[in-house]
C-alpha cells in the first residue's frame, strides 16, 4: 500500500511533467524529421515556451532520450501511473504492473531504480508504458526507437505498433536514414586503412564485485543488488566489440573499467599508453549537444592536453569528409563562437578524450542520433585517428553493422539472478568471454 500511496501522492507532479512533454511532442508531429539537431532545437524551444500546466492532447510518446518519458523512481511506479491514467479516463483499471512487466521482459526490474536501468531496459519500460496508454491515446509518437533495442527485442516494438494499429490510432516514427538497417559493413574498403593497424590491449578482471546503485540508498530506495564478475584475462586487438543483449551489463562494465564506479577486486585495461581509460557515452553527448561552443567544450579538458584538441579534431573531420562521398555531412572546422552539430559535438568530445593519450577509448552507443552513413564515417574516423595515436578502441553498440569489421569481440552476459519475495533482484553475475568470428 505504501508504494501505491507514494505513487498517488506523486501523481500531480507526474501529470504536470507528462503534460509538458506531451505538448512538446505534439507540436513536432506535423514536421518531417530533419535530423536530430532540428528535432532537439524544436523540442527545446517548444518545451521552454510552454505553459507546463496546459492540458495536453492525448499523445503517447517515446523520445530519443528514453528517460524523458519516465518520471517515477521505479518501473513499478511508472506502470502503476500509466494504469491510473487509463483508470482516470474511464477505460477500466488497466493491467497490473506485474502482468505488463512480464509481457515486456521486465519482471526482474520492477523494483530497480530507473537510473540504474540500461538504455535498452529503459526503452522496454517506455514501450510497456505507451502500450498501456493505448487505451486513452489519440496518437503515438516515437523518436529513434532503433537506437536502443537489440535485434532480440525488436518484437516488442512491433507489439506496441500492432496494439495501436488494432485501435486505428495514428502513429508517427521519427527515425534516421538506415537506423533500422541490419546489413554488415563491407570491410576495409568502407572503413579505411587505419583499421589494418591494430594496437593490442590487455584486459584483466580478478575477484571483482560491486554494488549497483549504492548511492541511491540515501534516498530510501530498495537495497541495491550485489554484482559478481567472473575472472577474465585476455590480450585483444583493437577495435574490440563488446556484444550482448539489452541489460546484460556492457555499459556497466565500461563504467567499472574506466573507474567510474566503486569496486572490490581488480578491473584493468592496459594499452600502449598506459591504463587510464576514457569513454564517450550517450549522456555526455546529450548534455553537451546544442548547448556549448567548440571552445567551451575544449576548455573543459584542461591541462596541457587542451592544446592538442583542435589538431585531433581536424584529423577526425578530415577522415569523415574523405569518407562522405555524398557531401551531406558538411563538417566544419573548430570555429570559435559557433554551436556545433550533433556529429561535430561527438567529434569534439572524442578529440578532448584522445588529447590526453588514454590507455583505451570506449565508445558506448556512438551511433545514437546519427544516420547509418554518418555513424559509419564517425566510428571509422575515430578508430583511424585513435590507432594513429596508439589508443585501442572498444565499441559498445546494438547495431549489427560492425560485427564483421572489428578485430576482436567480447560477449558480456548477465546470469544467476537471485530475486527476493518482492521481486527485487538481490544479486546477479556478469560473465565475460571472448568470441570468435563466425
Q: Which structural domains are found in the chain, ordered by start? A: 2-174 (3.40.50), 188-434 (3.40.50.300)
Strands 425-434 and 408-419: antiparallel
Instruction: List the beta bridge partners of residue 280.
Output: 363
Rounded to 5°, the CA angle 5-8-10 comes to 110
pLDDT of residue 352: 87
The total of other beta-carbon atoms located within 10 Å of residue 192's CB is: 16
Give the separation between CA 98 and CA 128, rounded to whole angstroms: 11
pLDDT of residue 400: 79
Tens of pLDDT along the chain (438 residues) come to 455 555 455 545 555 555 665 555 555 544 444 444 555 555 555 545 544 333 344 667 676 666 666 666 788 888 888 887 776 665 656 678 899 999 999 988 888 877 778 777 888 898 998 898 888 888 887 777 777 777 778 889 889 999 999 999 888 777 777 877 878 886 655 665 556 678 999 999 999 998 876 554 544 556 778 899 999 999 999 999 999 888 888 988 998 998 888 889 999 999 999 998 888 776 666 555 544 566 666 665 555 667 888 899 999 999 998 888 777 777 776 665 666 777 888 898 899 899 989 999 999 988 887 888 888 999 999 999 999 999 999 999 888 788 878 899 999 999 888 877 766 778 889 999 999 865
**Closest Cα partner for 405 from 238, 210, 179, 216?**
238
The total of other beta-carbon atoms located within 10 Å of residue 58's CB is: 15
What is the reported pTM? 0.79
pLDDT of residue 52: 38
pLDDT of residue 56: 45
The total of other beta-carbon atoms located within 10 Å of residue 284's CB is: 16
The total of other beta-carbon atoms located within 10 Å of residue 173's CB is: 17
Contact at 8 Å (CB) between 142 and 160?
A: no
pLDDT of residue 42: 55
Burial class (CB in 10 A: 0-12, 13-18, 19+), 304: exposed
pLDDT of residue 272: 95
Give the separation between CA 405 and CA 195, rounded to whole angstroms: 9
| E runs forming strands in 71-182 | 139-143, 171-174
| Strand order from edge to edge, sheet including 59-62 | 59-62, 139-143, 171-174
pLDDT of residue 298: 61
Give the separation between CA 57 and CA 43, rounded to whole angstroms: 16
The single residue listed with the C-alpha cell 583505451 is 360
**Closest Cα partner for 375 from 329, 411, 418?**
329
Helix (H, G, I), strand (E, B), or coil: what is residue 222? coil
Give the separation between CA 255 and CA 261, rounded to whole angstroms: 6
Give the separation between CA 263 and CA 81, rounded to whole angstroms: 35
Amino acid at each position: 500500500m505504501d508504494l501505491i500511496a507514494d505513487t498517488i501522492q506523486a501523481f500531480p507532479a507526474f501529470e504536470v511533467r507528462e503534460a509538458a512533454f506531451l505538448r512538446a511532442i505534439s507540436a513536432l508531429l506535423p514536421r518531417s524529421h530533419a535530423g536530430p539537431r532540428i528535432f532537439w532545437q524544436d523540442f527545446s524551444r517548444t518545451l521552454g515556451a510552454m505553459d507546463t500546466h496546459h492540458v495536453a492532447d492525448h499523445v503517447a510518446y517515446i523520445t530519443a532520450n528514453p528517460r524523458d518519458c519516465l518520471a517515477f523512481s521505479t518501473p513499478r511506479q511508472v506502470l502503476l501511473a500509466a494504469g491510473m491514467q487509463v483508470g482516470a479516463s474511464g477505460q477500466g483499471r488497466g493491467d497490473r504492473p506485474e502482468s505488463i512487466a512480464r509481457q515486456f521482459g521486465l519482471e526482474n526490474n520492477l523494483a530497480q531504480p530507473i537510473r540504474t536501468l540500461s538504455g535498452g531496459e529503459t526503452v522496454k519500460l517506455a514501450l510497456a508504458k505507451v502500450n498501456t496508454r493505448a487505451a486513452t491515446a489519440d496518437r503515438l509518437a516515437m523518436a529513434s526507437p532503433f537506437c536502443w533495442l537489440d535485434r532480440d527485442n525488436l518484437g516488442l516494438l512491433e507489439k506496441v505498433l500492432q496494439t495501436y494499429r488494432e485501435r486505428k490510432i495514428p502513429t508517427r516514427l521519427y527515425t534516421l536514414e538506415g537506423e533500422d538497417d541490419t546489413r554488415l559493413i563491407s570491410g576495409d574498403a568502407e572503413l579505411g586503412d587505419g583499421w589494418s593497424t591494430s594496437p593490442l590491449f590487455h584486459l584483466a578482471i580478478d575477484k571483482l564485485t560491486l554494488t549497483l546503485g549504492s548511492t541511491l540508498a540515501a534516498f530510501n530506495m530498495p537495497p541495491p543488488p550485489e554484482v559478481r564478475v567472473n575472472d577474465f584475462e585476455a590480450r585483444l586487438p583493437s577495435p574490440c566489440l563488446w556484444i550482448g543483449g539489452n541489460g546484460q551489463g556492457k555499459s556497466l562494465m565500461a563504467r567499472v573499467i574506466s573507474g567510474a564506479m566503486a569496486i572490490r577486486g581488480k578491473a584493468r585495461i592496459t594499452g600502449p599508453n598506459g591504463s587510464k581509460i576514457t569513454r564517450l557515452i550517450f549522456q555526455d553527448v546529450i548534455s553537451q549537444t546544442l548547448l556549448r561552443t567548440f571552445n567551451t567544450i575544449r576548455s573543459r579538458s584542461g591541462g596541457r592536453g587542451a592544446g592538442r584538441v583542435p589538431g585531433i579534431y581536424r584529423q577526425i573531420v578530415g577522415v569523415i569528409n574523405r569518407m562522405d562521398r555524398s557531401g551531406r555531412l558538411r563538417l566544419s572546422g573548430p570555429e570559435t563562437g559557433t554551436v556545433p552539430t550533433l556529429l561535430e559535438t561527438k567529434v569534439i568530445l572524442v578529440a578532448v578524450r584522445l588529447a590526453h593519450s588514454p590507455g583505451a577509448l570506449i565508445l558506448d552507443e556512438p551511433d545514437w542520433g546519427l544516420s547509418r552513413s554518418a555513424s559509419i564515417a564517425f566510428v571509422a574516423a575515430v578508430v583511424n585517428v585513435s590507432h594513429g595515436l596508439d589508443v585501442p578502441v572498444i565499441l559498445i553498440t546494438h547495431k549489427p553493422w560492425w560485427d564483421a569489421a572489428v578485430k576482436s569481440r567480447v560477449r558480456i552476459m548477465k546470469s544467476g539472478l537471485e530475486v527476493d519475495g518482492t521481486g527485487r533482484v538481490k544479486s546477479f553475475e556478469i560473465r565475460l568471454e571472448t568470441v570468435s568470428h563466425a
